[in-house]
Structure formats: structure tokens, C-alpha cells
Chains A and B, each alone.
Chain A
Amino acid sequence: MTVQGIVLLVLFVAVLVVFGFIVRMLIRTLKLGKPEDRSGNIGQRINSVLVYVAAQARVLSQPAGLGHFLIFWGFIFITLGTIEHIVGMIVPGVSYTAVFGPVVAGVISWFQDILAFLVLLAIIVSLFRRFVLKPVRLKIDDPGARQEALFILTLISALVLLMFGIKGAGILMGKVDPAYAPVSSFVAGLLQGRGLDLHMFENVLAWTHHLIVFFFLLYVPYSKHIHILGAIPNIYLRNLGPAGTLSRMDFEDESAEKFGNSEIRDFTWKQLLDLYACTECGRCQAACPAYLTEKPLSPFNMIHRMRAHLMDERGKLLKGQDGEKGETGAEGVEGTPIIPETMTTDEIWACTTCGACMQECPPFIEHVQKIVDLRRYLVMTESNFPQEMQAVFRNMEVNYNPWSIGFSTRADWAEGMDVPIASEKKEFDVLFWTGCAGSFDARGQSVMKAVVELFGKADVDFAILGVEEMCCGETARRMGNEYLAQTLIDGNIDVLKKYSFKKIVTACPHCFNTFKVEYPQFGFEAEVMHHSEFLLDLLEEGRLKAGKIESTRGTYHDSCYLGRYNDILDQPRSILNQVSGVEITEMGRSGKRSFCCGAGGGRMWMEEDIGRRINEERVSETTKLGVDTIFAACPYCITMFEDGLKAGEIENVRVRDIAEVLLESID
């Protein structure tokens, strides 16, 4: 072993040891968080890694993702070469050719060459995007983040160029087979005949290259490139259940002084791992209705700042934890509140919980739960929330609906119609869950009447709960009032258990999602269908037959909790397609990439006084298509669009629920 080899070995080992300590510290930092179970489903989890890491499925869902795909795979092959070269410098004579034979080594070398060249091209495109095109998704408040991105791209370019230099020199010295190194051969041609001391040249390049690699290894955990460490486990540990479920809180401990999350340790370890996983690609903010209408919230900024906050806090908190063995426990160290310095209340309340951020995120970060966790603290522990929300909470407590209307009038919409009440009928096939909007809002009521009429035409054996029905709890839950939500949920479950029915059908995606994916947390499971699914079944079974309406050019808006969260995309469209006279033009943002109407997450009940209005933004998207009707399948969306049309003084566009159209075609 040469002196140079020994020095490199010592350095290499030292870097690995330090890196090991850093990783240990990162893991200990995660353990500051609360427990969360993400075990099980190993097969499905490994599959996630294959699809979303190896094949980069989400990364590639946007064209710019190709650059990442190339850099990712390029670096895997470049790293293989780096390892070979370092080991070769330490133990002369060891190489892939020596170990695996010339063919395997050749294939590795060929991929290295080609991919590294493509990496260079990808970096040029990246720099062009970042500094010339500046797309919405790469905008970030922190100027340090942009400098860091530039720094990293420079380092990567340097490593690739150095590698070509090393391999080029290697070809000239006969160490590298030019047949498997097309790009390096070209570089070798450039180096040839320049009177270079090739050994010295290669050595200087190799040392520079390896020192950069060592630096990179130690720098990564402190930069956004921590995602190299965080993203893969985060994808492995991703939420495999429905995305629209919030965590269930336990209120057993009556002496608790705090509910919800105020500091970083209140989050679970998995939520902290999310912070390591962020690649700062900004796809979340480019899809965020709050960000795109000039609200202060950006999911990208939120994760970026929360990670910075975690990094700032961990020293203090870990020291406190070490003290556990001694006198002061971790409990003794006070965490810095996240609000107002890391996040402001305006940001927290701007979220519509539409889930577009989570839908886009390549490493599967779960933003919405974090926002709701922070809301929970503000609402339940501090009673700190926009003033208009207090009346909403009161209404839900006293009259079980967010409207300020007496609960005893809940079934008044059905007066004069043949609508059976569960308390009289006891046994029936379908429990038609009206929901608050359907019960109290005039526009919602007309949708319910249409659904009930369709039930009548198809001879559906159904009943409503009437005055026994309470708000499903969705709004309270997403506003952070988990306690109130659970009161409503428990109350509803008690009532539902009294009756015998086969399924719940509802015309509200919020109620639908809540019954389908959240009520099981509270011990209530039933088959739950959205009216678009149920009506389509009736059509397919021939119990209903769609007819004709006056020729209409419309577009269909996917409600977040129906499309994005529950994959119900085709059913409403199928119903519309069966009605002759209806022609559908899709919006640019549709399906799982639909753009929120602005009402979700309790935003329906809050003032929208920052930035532009989300509903108007969405309405202008529909009117650009030149349609005369916006079709929807959610009473909140309908209200938001009608308000948006009114605000824009657009009189020639109507908003209609799919049930209303279907009924009209049959009449």
C-alpha cells in the first residue's frame, strides 16, 4: 500500500465515521417526535420504493422531472465508479474488471459515461430553469435556499467533469477500455498529445474528486440534499391508507394541559422524517390554491422552515434528552413554539386541506395533517382562531350544523315530499345522509330534492335521519376542533346504530369522505357511496334511464374529497355522458389535479380577505373554456362557484349538480 493509499484510507474511514455520527444524530432527532406506527405491508412498501424511487414515477409526472431522473441514476453509476476508484487507490490492482470481469465492468463504465453526460445536460437545463425561467414552483422566500441549489449543482457538475478527466487519462494510460467509454474517449482525445504527466494529472483530479465527494457526504445532511437520505425511507414508510384521514386524538386524559401541536416534538417521528425528505422541488406550492391566490401559505415554505426550525431546536432538545439519565429530563427543556415565528396563524388558516400538495409530492410528504395538528393546538388549547369561527363552533355545538339554524328544522327541506324518516321506518336499504348543506342551504336543498326524486323513480328503499342527523364532524375536524368533531361523530354513530340499512349514500363529498375513511377510526363501518356512484349503479342496472336535455356545453369540476382523495373521477362523468345534449370540455386542472373551489378545511366559514379569491380563480378557469354550465357534485363547490359567478357578474353560466341534470333529462 502506498503512502497516498494510506492517507486516503485514513481519510475515507474518518469521513465514514463522522458521517455515521451525523446519521445517528439525525435518527436521534427523529426520535424526539411522538410514536407513530408505520410498520407492516412490507411487500407494498417495497413496491412503493420500486415505483417511486427506482422508476421515479411521481418525479416523472412533470417534464422537468426527467432531469432529476437522469441525475439520480447518473449518480448511482458515478458513485459505483467513485467507490471503484477509491478502493483502487487504496489497494492497487482492485477494479471491477479484476473482480467481476471485463463485461460487467464495461457495462458499468458505459452507463457511467452516458448517464454522466446526460447529467451535465440536465444540470444546464436545471440552471436555466432556476435562474432564467424561474417557474412558480421554484420560488422560495429564503434566499439561502437558492444559493444552496446553485452550490449543489456546481458541485455535481464539477464531479462529473472530474470523472471524465480521470477516465480520459485512464484511457490514455490503458487502465480504462475506451470501447465502453464513449464520452471519456472523446475527452481522452482532447488530452492526447499535450505533453501532460498523465499519472500526476489523474492523481490531482482524483484527489480533487474524492475530496469533493467526502465534503458532499458531510454537507448533505445539513442541506436540502438531506432528501438523499430522507426521501427513500419516507417513500418506504408512506401512508398506504386513504390520504383523507386525519389522526384520531384521544381525550381520555382529563388532566392534560395541552391538545394539538405547538412545538416540533409534538409531531410524530414520521412527520419529522417528512422534513428530511423534502427535495424543495416546489411542486406542492405550484398546485396550492392558497399560494396561487397570494395567500401567505406555501406548503414548500412550510416544510423548508419547519426543517430549519428542527435543525435549530435539535441541539437544545437532544441535550435535554441526554439529561434524562441525570436530573433534567427532556420534559424540562422548553421547545420553541412553531407559531408565530416559524409559521404564522394566517398561513395555518389559509389551507383548504385540498390535498393537492400531497398529491404532487414526489417523496410523499403529508402536509395537511401537520397544518391540522397546528390548528388543533390553536383551537383547543389556546382558543386562538379567526373570530368568525366561534359562531360556527357554537352553531355546531348547539344546533349540530355550521349554519345558525335550529336543529329541529333539519328535515324541513323534505316537507311535502315523500321522504321516509329512519325513526319511523327502522329498516331500509339506503340511508340517505343529507348533510348540513343539503339540509339548510337553499341550493343544497334543491340538490337533495333532485336526488330524492331520482330515488323515487328508481324505487329505492331509503330513509333519512331527519332531526336525528347531526353534522358529520368534517368541518370541525379540519378546523382543528377535534373535540367537537368527536362529540358529533359519537352522537351520529349512536343514532346510526339504531337502524338497519345496507349502505349510506350522500351527495356531499365531505360527508362521504368522513363516513368512508374517518368513521371507521371511531368504530363505525358501513358501505358508503357518493350519489354519483349510486346513481350510476341505478343507470347501469336499468332502474334509471337518462334522457335528453337542451344542448349544453359544460365542464365538470372534480371536488377534492371526491376526486383527489377518493378516486371518484369517472362516475360523475359517466352520468353526464349518458345524458344526451351534454357536451363536456375538461379544464386544464381536472381529475386528481383539480383545483379546489376554496371551501375545504373550514374555509367555507372563514373570511377570505388575503389575496385573490380562490373561487373566482377557479370560475375564471371555467369561463375561459366558453362553457355555459359548470357541473359539480358537491354542495360546497356549487355555492363557491355561484358566489364566484356573481362576483364576476357572469350571468350566462349555470352551476348544476349531476343529480339535477340527470333528473331534468328524465323528466
Chain B
Amino acid sequence: MKIIVLLKRVPDTEAKILINQDGNGIREDGVKFIINTYDEYGIEEGLRLKEKVGGDSKVTAVCAGPEESTEVIRTALAMGVDDAVHICDPALAKPSPFTIAEVLAKAISEEGFDIIFCGKQGIDDDMAQTQSILAEKLDIPQVNNATVFELADDLSKAVLNRRIEGGDEKVEASLPVIISCEKGLNDPRYASLPGIMKAKKKEIRVKNLADLGFNEAPSSGRSRVLKWLPMPKGGECKMVEAEETVDAVKELARLLREEAKVV
């Protein structure tokens, strides 16, 4: 079984995010990058599937991103992914989901696939578009926000739970299929040291747009990012203190009425 896991290099969840001067990206100095946390659930699920199916199953990571993405690709390889394709081209500096889906579709088709796992969204720009556009481009079913994944014994279809408001929805999909993963699907493993050592020798096939048969970067679709804006500043917080709780409540009520004018 040929398993593809998609991964994206994103700023660490704890990183201090500052918009760059041009307003078209973030300042990268002092920012650590990690594998998109939702993609990790995908990697883990791919590895578990390989362990379960056995045989000549293979897990290939596919990542589109700048040169520095090698580091996160190695992390995936250390977790146990067999090999990786790294799509890297200066023309993909600030890609839209449409562009990325187009190049991913090409690269994945070249690799061949039975099942594709990815995160439900990137934790950086939170668009949650790529997997759906990719499904359309590949013309395969998609199941998003998976929290449970099982493969039928004859390997023909997947049975999944997907998280919806207030509960889970049980879904069945025929293979090949693309599945986007939600928190709770699994606990991603911590790479073992032999895994880290082996990862140094695993193959990463670097491809640019020309290698994938594109003359120029594919269209970015009909929407366009105009500008990145800093987070609007939150209001000042005022603590109401008094010796007796009753007095504090009175003061709070007064402030809400007279200053905030909300009651």
C-alpha cells in the first residue's frame, strides 16, 4: 500500500509572531519552525497504517516549502516515514492553496498513492483549503477532521469518524482517499534515536517546478491575499478590588453601566 503524508513547515505555536515591513508575511528572525501539528496526526496515522498492513507498504512524505523545510522533513523521516519528496522552488515563495494543491497533485500522482493523510489545516494561516482542492484535482473522495480511522480488511475502503459540532459523524469512503486529521485521532510518536540516525540517510527527492513539468507557478485561484495586519490590540483590563465581595460587585455594576455603558 502506498501511503502519502503531507507536511507543512509552520512557526512554532509559542513563537512571537510579528508582521514584516511589507505586510506580506511574518518576521522570521527569532522564530522556530515545526511540523504543522495537525500534519503530525497524519504522519502517525500513516505509520500505524503501514505497520498494520505490512507487506511492501511504504509511507512517503510530501512537502512543498522553502529550503529550510528539510529540517521538518527529517523529523518526519525520524518518526519512521520511508522517504520524502520536497517541492522547492523560488516561484513558490508565497503560494496560495490553489497553487500548492496543483503542484502537490502533480508530485503525488508521480509517486502513486492509495491513501493520503494530511492535517485539517495549517496552524499558520488557518486556510484549511489545500486538502479539498487537492481532492478535486486528483478526483478522489475527501474526508475532513477525522478522529477515528480504520481500513476495511480487504483494503478497499476506509471507515472514519469525523468530528462535527456536538459529536462525531461516521463516514465510509472508497480508496484512494484523502483524509485530513483532527486532534484526538492519535498521539504522534516521539522519534527514537535509531530513527533519528536512520533519517539522516533516508532519501529526500527535491523537485522544482520544472521537474514537475510546470513552466511557471500554477494559478493562485481567484482570491488573493492583500495584506497581513497585526492583531488588533485588546482593551485594557481593569481589576475591581474591594475588601468585601459585595462592594466589588457594586463597583463592577457601576463600571459596566457608567463607563462601559453595556448594562
Contacts and interface: CB of A to CB of B under 8 A. Distances in A.
A391 to B, nearest CB: 10
A381 B192 contact: yes
A383 B192 CA distance: 5
B32 interface: yes
A399 B14 contact: yes
B252 to A, nearest CB: 26
A405 B190 contact: no
B194 to A, nearest CB: 5
Contact of A399 (B12, B191, B194): B12
Given A398-B32, A398-B34, A399-B32, A406 B194 contact: no
B15 interface: yes
B254 interface: no
B120 to A, nearest CB: 20
Nearest to A467: B30
Contacts of A254: 197, 200-201
Contacts of B193: 251, 259, 380-381, 483
Most buried by A among B14, B15, B189: B14
B190 A390 contact: yes
B16 interface: yes
Nearest to A258: B194
Contacts of B34: 398
Interface residues of A, number: 26
B187 A387 contact: yes
Interface in B140-162: none
Contacts of B194: 256-259, 381
A251 B194 CA distance: 10
B192 to A, nearest CB: 5
A255 B197 contact: yes
A500 interface: no
A387 B186 CA distance: 12
A394 B37 CA distance: 12
A408 B189 contact: no
A229 B189 CA distance: 46
Given A398-B34, A467-B30, A483-B196, A405 B191 contact: no
A407 B197 CA distance: 26
B190 A408 contact: no
A467 B32 CA distance: 13
Nearest to B15: A406
Contact of A406 (B16, B196, B201): B16
Nearest to B32: A398
Interface residues of B, number: 20
Contacts of A398: 12, 14, 32, 34
Nearest to A260: B193
A398 B30 CA distance: 12
A393 B30 contact: no
Q: Which of B16, B31, B190 has the most CB of A within 10 A?
A: B190
A393 B190 contact: yes
A44 interface: no
Interface string A383-410: 1010100100110001100001111110
A155 B58 CA distance: 66
Contact of A408 (B15, B187, B200): B15
A380 B192 contact: yes
Contacts of B189: 383
Nearest to A259: B193
Given A254-B197, A256-B197, A399-B32, A409 B192 contact: no
Nearest to A249: B193
B206 to A, nearest CB: 22
A382 interface: yes
Give chain B's interface secondary structure class: loop
B197 A404 contact: no
Nearest to B30: A408
Contacts of B12: 398-399, 406
Contacts of B32: 398-399, 406-407
A409 B191 CA distance: 27
Interface in B5-24: 12-16
Interface in B190-249: 190-194, 196-197, 200-201
Nearest to B192: A383
Nearest to A483: B193
A251 B190 CA distance: 18
Contacts of A257: 194
A81 B6 CA distance: 81
The winner among A257, A408, A409, A467 for most chain B CB atoms within 10 A is A408
A257 B198 CA distance: 9
Contacts of A387: 187
A306 B57 CA distance: 41
A249 to B, nearest CB: 10
B146 to A, nearest CB: 21
A167 to B, nearest CB: 65
A257 B196 CA distance: 11
Contacts of B187: 387, 390
Contacts of A394: 190
A254 B200 CA distance: 9
Contact of A382 (B13, B192, B200): B192
Contacts of B30: 408, 467
Nearest to A395: B14
A404 B192 contact: no
A436 B224 CA distance: 42
B199 to A, nearest CB: 10
Interface string B29-49: 011101000000000000000
B14 A405 contact: yes
A383 B16 contact: no
Nearest to A482: B193
Contacts of A383: 189-192
A500 B113 CA distance: 57
Nearest to A385: B190
A387 B34 CA distance: 20
Contacts of B196: 483
B197 A409 contact: no
Contacts of A251: 193
A408 B16 contact: yes
Among B191, B197, B200, chain A packs the most CB atoms within 10 A around the CB of B197
Nearest to A484: B193
A483 B190 CA distance: 13
Nearest to B187: A387
Interface in A250-266: 251, 254-259
A516 B197 CA distance: 30
B185 to A, nearest CB: 15
Nearest to A400: B32
Contacts of A406: 12, 14-16, 32
A381 B190 CA distance: 10
Interface string B53-83: 0000000000000000000000000000000
A568 to B, nearest CB: 34
B86 to A, nearest CB: 21
A405 B13 CA distance: 9
Interface of A: 251, 254-259, 380-383, 385, 387, 390, 393-394, 398-399, 404-409, 467, 483
Interface of B: 12-16, 30-32, 34, 187, 189-194, 196-197, 200-201
Given A406-B32, A467-B30, 14 more contacts: A251-B193, A254-B197, A254-B200, A254-B201, A256-B194, A256-B197, A381-B193, A382-B192, A383-B189, A390-B187, A390-B190, A399-B32, A408-B15, A483-B196
28 contacts: A254-B197, A254-B200, A255-B197, A256-B194, A258-B194, A259-B194, A380-B192, A380-B193, A381-B193, A381-B194, A383-B189, A383-B191, A385-B190, A387-B187, A390-B187, A390-B190, A398-B32, A399-B14, A399-B32, A404-B13, A404-B14, A406-B12, A406-B14, A406-B16, A406-B32, A407-B14, A407-B32, A408-B30
8 shortest interchain CB distances as A-B pairs: A406-B14, A380-B193, A408-B30, A383-B190, A254-B197, A383-B192, A259-B193, A390-B190
